[in-house]
Amino acid sequence: MDKTAIEQLSEPQQKILSFINQYMEQNDIPPTIREIQHGAGISSTSMVSYHLKALERAQLLNRRERRSRGLIVNEPRRAHSRDIVAIPIVGVITCGAEPVPTPDPDTLAESENVIHLARSLVGNADGLYALEAKGDSMIDALINDGDIVIMQRNADVKNGDLAAVFLLDRNESTLKRVYKEGRRLKLKPENPTLKPFYVEARHAQIQGRVVCVIRRT
């Protein structure tokens, strides 16, 4: 019979493990040996130590030797808080007669609205901010009213990137894929049934790259 590691655990070991998890849920920090002792109903600290060593062998946890609260729980599925990035929602984007807002540090620091995303989705979080789409004017960019658009400020926009572009001659901003073609800029709508068009590069101002679009329904 092929037993998995979890099945081989003795009862006190399971108790210890679940106590550790429960404790960390509540306190964010690992318990001490003596807290485990009482919490899991173990008779002595040496018994806790003994069981912890077994759990260590079973790869279920690691320990930093001689450090207080030195437990490290091995949960491969557990994502770490550093894998989440909080992105401030700094304004709305309307694809209309005004530039897309860019955050100034003040509003950024005190902004209450944030959206949490996994770093795997957005990569390096530097210069990220979020805008809420307002109105139906961007359905050609496949962006709906209420969508959250994650932007990266100061990003270098490469050919084919989706970007917010402000058109000086028309005095409006738009979300398009941009391609540099000499001194012209090709702007290609996301909607493939629409034709791309061209503007003079000096009449266009790239305001940020669109990293990601989130639609909550």
Partner DNA sequence: CGTATCATAGAACAAAAGTTCAAAGCCCAT
Partner DNA sequence: ATGGGCTTTGAACTTTTGTTCTATGATACG
Active-site annotation, residues:
137, 176
How far, in Å, CA of 198 to CA of 180, rounded?
A: 10
130 contacts 149 by C-beta, under 8 angstroms: yes
Show the tokens assigned to 167.
Answer: 């058109």
Instruction: Choose from DNA, a copy of itself, none: what does 181 bind? Cβ within 5-8 Å by kind.
Output: none
Q: Does 68 bind DNA (CB under 7 A)?
A: yes
Question: β-strand 128-133 against 84-93: which pairing, if any?
Answer: parallel
- Is position 216 an interface residue for DNA (rule: CB under 7 A)? no
Binding status of residue 10 toward DNA by CB under 7 A: yes
With CB under 5 to 8 Å by kind, the binding choice for 208 among a copy of itself, DNA, none is none
From the CB of 107, what's the least distance to a copy of itself, in Å? 14
Q: Which of 98, 94, 97, 184 is nearest to 139 (CA)?
A: 94
Closest residue by Cα to residue 161 from 207, 99, 92: 207
* Contact of residue 65 among DNA, a copy of itself, none (CB under 5-8 Å per partner type): DNA
Interface pattern 142-171 for a copy of itself (x via CB under 8 A): xxx----------------xx---------
Query: Are the CB atoms for 56 and 62 separated by under 8 Å?
Result: yes
Q: Is 62 in the site for DNA (CB under 7 A)?
A: no
User: 10 vs 21, which CB is nearer to DNA?
Assistant: 10
